[in-house]
Amino acid sequence: KYTKFSIFYYWINSLGQKTFIYSRSENIAIPSGKENKTATISYDHRIMQLENTSSTGTYYCEVKWNDIQKMGKGVFVLARGTGYIETSYGWEILVALTVILAALSITATALLLWKRK
């Protein structure tokens, strides 16, 4: 009864629309001596070349037997455009702050030395 099942891959976009990507049917033979035992089989599906940034969404895998249906928790995928660079100004701020503090320190030292004379 459970040796025949179908696997469906789909994604749900930010508008809640479901789009099917791929499906396959399986018919697994049970090895001798393994009857009436729980078994786990892993299946990988690689999503090739996302079309564009609108491919962002949560991707799911679902398995259906005759009377049973199980769905995975989903994986969120954020698709970015080609050449996208994460903007991080951490180093620039640190360098600018260091330069400003160094300039103020030099100026203060020069003023103290000038005042002594």
Q: Kindly report the average pLDDT of the chain as a whole number.
A: 82
| Cβ neighbours of 2 (radius 10 Å) | 11
Pairing of strands 57-64, 75-77: antiparallel
Kindly indicate the confidence band of residue 115, based on its pLDDT and cuts at 50, 70 and 90.
Answer: confident
Domain that holds residue 33: 4-77
Same domain, 19 and 45: yes
Q: Report the domain count for the chain.
A: 2
Residues 97 and 90: their CA atoms lie apart, in Å, by 11
Average pLDDT over residues 72-87: 76
User: Does one domain contain both 72 and 102?
Assistant: no
Do both 69 and 92 map to the same domain?
no
110 lies in the same domain as 60: no
Asked whether residue 28 falls in the same domain as residue 50, the answer is yes
- Residue 31 and residue 73 in one domain: yes
Are 71 and 92 in a shared domain? no
- Dihedral angle, C-alpha 109, 112, 113, 117, nearest 10 °: 170
